[in-house]
Amino acid sequence: MVLDNFITWEFIASYMGTVIVTMLMVQFFKELPFIKSIPTKYFVFIIALINIVATNVVTKTFLISNLYLMIINAILVAFTSTGTYDFTVKAVKVNINKRDE
């Protein structure tokens, strides 16, 4: 079994693939000094849009007429990504703090 294709373009082209890759990239890049000044929700949107456009370009399905839909989809991915982070990470922090009291 060859384990060199964890993430493929087909996976990134799916909704959950875009959400997962967006979350990974945001967590990796968010500590860069010039990124810290950008509000998180806008940075997540930018990364989501880059992922969606890149996937469309690589799979040769990019059309300028679909750009509006890509922006709407990037907003949806951004809401899902930030909501998932808030639900998993912030909930854990709150529960840990409550136990310490």
pLDDT at 4: 74
Helix (H, G, I), strand (E, B) or coil at 6: coil
Give the closest residue to 10 by CA, choosing from 75, 52, 55, 44.
55
Tokens linked to 81 = 């990504």
12, 55 contact by CB (below 8 A)? yes
For the chain, strand residue ranges (E) read none
What pLDDT is attached to residue 86? 67
Q: Residue 56 has what pLDDT?
A: 96
Q: Is the dihedral of CA 8, 29, 79, 74 positive or negative?
A: negative
Compute the distance between CA of residue 9 and CA of residue 50 in angstroms, rounded to an integer: 13
Question: How far is it, in rounded angstroms, from Cα 64 to Cα 38?
Answer: 27
Mean per-residue pLDDT pooled into runs of 10, the chain (101 residues): 78 95 94 90 95 96 96 95 72 59 57
What is this structure's pTM?
0.78
Domain ranges of the chain: 40-95
Residue 82 is predicted with a pLDDT of 86
